[in-house]
Structure 1
Amino acid sequence: MTALKQQQLFDEIDILPIDIKTKIVDKILNSISPANKTIDDLWIKEVNKRKNDIEADNISLVDGDEVFKKISQRLK
C-alpha cells in the first residue's frame, strides 16, 4: 500500500463514527490475535464471580488512585 493510499485510509477512518471505529479496531485485533472462545469463557466466568462477590459484599474494594499511590510509594 502506498503512503498516499495509507493516508487516504487514515483520513477516512478519522471521519467515521465511534461505533464503526471500534468495529474496525476489533476486526484488526482479531486478525492479529484471533479470539479464543475457551479463554473468553473463562474471563466471563471470572467477571461474573467478581461481580457477585462485590454485590454480596464478600470483598472490600480499593480505590484505583489509592492502589497506584501505594505502588508509587513502594517503587521510590
Structure 2
Amino acid sequence: MPTVAKKIIDDVLLLPTDARVSLVEQLLTSLNLPTQPEVDRLWAEEAERRIAQIERRKVKLVSGEKVFLDIRKKYRR
C-alpha cells in the first residue's frame, strides 16, 4: 500500500465512528456503483431473458444436483 494511502487510513481510523461512516458513504458514492433499483431491474431483465431461452428450448436445463456432482468429480483429488 502506498505511504500516502497508509497515512490516510491511519488518520481516518482515529476519527469518531460517525465521521468514519460519513466518509465511507462518500467514498462509496464516488464509485458510481449501480443503485439497488438498477441492480433489481438488471436481475429482472436477466431472469426474463433466461425464461425466454428456456421456453424457446435454446438452453439445456441441468439439475443442481448433477452440476454439483460433476464439480465434485472434476475437482476430486
TM-score by length of 1: 0.52
Amino acid at match of 1:74: K
1:75 deviates by 1.7
2:40 and 2:59 map into 1 onto residues whose CA distance is 24
Counterpart of 2:39 in structure 1 is 39
Counterpart of 2:51 in structure 1 is 51
**Segments ≥4 residues shifted beyond 6 Å:** none
- Aligned residue for 1:60, secondary structure, equals coil
1:74 and 1:57 map into 2 onto residues whose CA distance is 27
Amino acid at match of 1:75: Y
TM-score by length of 2: 0.51
Counterpart of 2:60 in structure 1 is 60
> Considering only aligned residues, what root-mean-square deviation do their CA atoms show, in Å?
1.2
1:63 deviates by 1.4
Counting aligned pairs with the same residue, the percent is 31
- Aligned residue for 1:58, secondary structure, equals coil
Amino acid at match of 1:55: E
1:72 deviates by 0.5
1:71 deviates by 0.5
